[in-house]
Structure 1
């Protein structure tokens, strides 16, 4: 029966193409993926492969696999969903069955009965052809996705390195990443060993229409986020519950040309956070720390010049005085409240503050010295972590 249907392949292909064009439009709401001529030829080739398996046996021919592999690869390149291709393959199997059964009914009753008893070979053959098509589709899909990923990673790399000022780079980013050249952007950095796909954006962002591109860069996962009508604070609130790794959010910048600046700001924000502390460090919430982190040499000099001989004390005594100063600032410069925080008497706090003044050579009533002390404490904490 298969040999008979082999001679009727043009009719088979015509009927299936007519039905396939309709099915593709109605079932998938798009009919421009595959030209009818391409569709017809693939139906011919894949039906021939199935019928060859049925007539010659599953172990005698190896050339049958070329057609379904080629079809799978081509449909992946054309962007046809795999479900659509499999749907048309199922239609083809149904039509083959109808044609085989019609040919069998033209034979004797005994031959028809024998045909029905052995029809399992049809399903085995069409299953092999469909499986080969899926293998071709998947392999090509992986190749295409790898190419897309590399392109995305390259564009993200050049943007965070500050080359978005080049109109050609900006145009490529607009075309390939779907990001507008002018817009309100922030950069999110996540320190983790996950891939960009595993670390992808949270669903709430897509629901809000926030455009995000994610790609690895060095030992980070970089998110380029176009805020649209939303604020960076809103974004931080959405991201914070989802980030279980060390992460940072830059300040807002204008357009792709300033993505490099945003990346630098995100790196600074990241360094305001202790290396072993997970969660999102938001630059605009940590600007004093960012000032210190941005210039380690100046931070070291500020701490040394401001705290002076305090830093030369033994570890325990130095830590007591610094903790007292920190508590005093935290208590809005109230010795009583600072004592409550430190579990000591207010007079103890006052004695420690006087000793700090003696060692630093400046009065804590001086506004400028207070500012320097606050920054010096931040610098000391940061330098100690380093």
Structure 2
């Protein structure tokens, strides 16, 4: 293969003259360029006003032709302009593939016109142009790469700003703000019904370095989640379909979250998310320190009353269990564990014995001793209620 001869001063002069001819035809080139883009996709016209597009195209093509005429000029104005245009098109919302197509279409049009102009002149000019083909298309590729990189960086920044704005709206709702303007903006930004059915989920989870957040693993028909990370827990807003209740929500979360977690009752409207968040946190507070399950507030109302009044809870524990608390810790733990098992088994001594791996008479004996120590009877409803609530308060205040 014959070696390519080095360019002479005359070669550069002929190339510059050919580019100068293109610059004289610039308005014609811009009209043809915009016609081709419109034929390719109507999106260009919908996103970019025609007058603006024409002026920007005229500037971009002129800078591109000047870059071909003076390829060793620094800085590369064509790349600086491509970066600027990439940011602008990302802000306008033009799809990236159409932006890259526009740049390559401009390169194609400039090359075709260069060839046409050179062919109309002396053959020597055509030979010089053909020797410049690699340079021209390399410049077009660099411009396309630059515009795409600037577009992606701007798109990422815009997405980050949008996420921050939406998170701020969600935080405001969860903090209890309910101004109509705020709820309508949040509904539009988060794509949630302003007056829909909602429940709030609060999960106490530990950070898992390098692993997928738990909430991203949760999917379910009839439920759409919007999650917000807070300092030591995650808050999930669950938008519920009309036929989806708390049973379905709890079933969806159970086994998919490490817990513990709390679920609020259903509320209507984004303006009541602050109330729902507080109730979900209250449900979470009913979980003992070592709990791992997800609990519903409507199933933990008595315990919620206890934890919502810590001073009264301490008085209740002292009043009911004070003699019990003076026992040896191991002895006390056995009695309380027996009471907890008996309550969990709905008052069945036989089932409680199976859970505790002891004889049912042992369960009866422990319960009688507990009654003696507390001066209360498990057969009297009021006494039973007090002992149940005192047990919850004691478990929740341990550690």
TM-score, reference length from structure 2 = 0.82
1:22 to 36, 39, 54: 39
Report the CA distance between 1:241 and its aligned residue.
5.7
Is the contact made by 1:268 and 1:294 (CA closer than 8 Å) also made in structure 2?
Answer: yes
Q: How many angstroms does 1:258 deviate by? A: 1.2
* Counterpart check, 1:126 vs 2:143: no
C-alpha spacing 1:279/1:335, structure 2 compared with 1 (3 Å) = closer
Aligned residue pairs, count: 378
Alignment of 1:287-306 (within 5 A): 287-306=301-320
**How much has 1:211 moved relative to structure 2?**
5.4
Cα RMSD over matched residues?
3.1
Q: What does 1:39-118 align with in structure 2 at a 5 Å threshold?
A: 39-58=53-72, 60-109=74-123, 111-118=125-132
Provide structure 2 residue ranges, at least 5 long, that are not aligned to the other structure: 1-17
Q: Which residue of 2 aligns with 1:228?
A: 241
The answer on 1:150 being equivalent to 2:189 is: no
Q: In the aligned structure 1, how far is the partner of 2:343 from the partner of 2:66?
A: 86
Paired with 1:359 and 1:132, the residues of 2 have a C-alpha distance of 81
Distance 2:352 2:289 in 1: 29
Q: How does 1:147-296 map to 2 (within 5 A)?
A: 147-164=161-178, 166-191=179-204, 204=219, 212-229=225-242, 230-240=244-254, 242-243=256-257, 247-274=261-288, 280-296=294-310
The CA distance in 2 between the partners of 1:242 and 1:337, in whole Å, is 29
Equivalent-residue separation in structure 2 for 1:191 and 1:68 (angstroms): 48
Correspondence 1:12 to 2:29? yes
Preserved CA contact (<8 Å) 2:67 2:77: no
In structure 1, distance between residues paired with 2:72 and 2:214: 44
Distance 1:60 1:184, change over 3 A: same
Q: Greater CA deviation, 283-292 or 65-74?
A: 283-292
Any unmatched runs of 5+ in structure 1?
Answer: none
Distance 1:289 1:128 in 2: 67
Secondary structure at 1:60's aligned position in 2? coil
After superposition, give the CA deviation of every residue in 1:138-173 in whole Å (9 maximum; x if it has no partner): 343234333322321222222112111x23322332
Distance in 2 (CA, whole Å) between partners of 1:22 and 1:308 is: 86
TM-score, normalised to structure 1, is 0.84
Question: 2 CA distance for matches of 1:320 and 1:131?
Answer: 72
Q: Conserved in 2, the CA contact under 8 Å of 1:187 and 1:259?
A: yes
CA–CA distance in 1 between the matches of 2:226 and 2:199? 11
Q: 1:363 maps to what in 2?
A: 377
- 2:343 pairs, out of 329, 333, 341, with 329
Counterpart Cα distance in 2 of 1:44 and 1:355: 95
Distance, in Å, in 1 between the alignment partners of 2:361 and 2:227 is 55
How far off is 1:125 after superposition?
A: 1.0
Q: Answer yes or no: is the 8 Å Cα contact 1:331–1:337 preserved in 2.
A: yes
Greater Cα offset, 177-186 or 364-373: 177-186
Alignment partner, residue 332 of structure 2: 318
Structure-2 separation of matches of 1:59 and 1:243: 60
Equivalent residue in structure 1 for 2:151, among 114, 137, 150: 137
Q: Which moved more, 1:339-348 or 1:319-328?
A: 339-348
- What does the per-residue CA deviation read over 1:55-113, in whole Å, with 9 as the maximum and x for residues that have no partner? 22255234333422222222122122222212222322332332233234335555434
CA gap 1:173/1:369 in 2 versus in 1, 3 angstroms: same
- Paired with 1:232 and 1:13, the residues of 2 have a C-alpha distance of 61
The verdict on how the C-alpha distance between 1:94 and 1:288 changes in structure 2, with shifts beyond 3 A counting, is farther
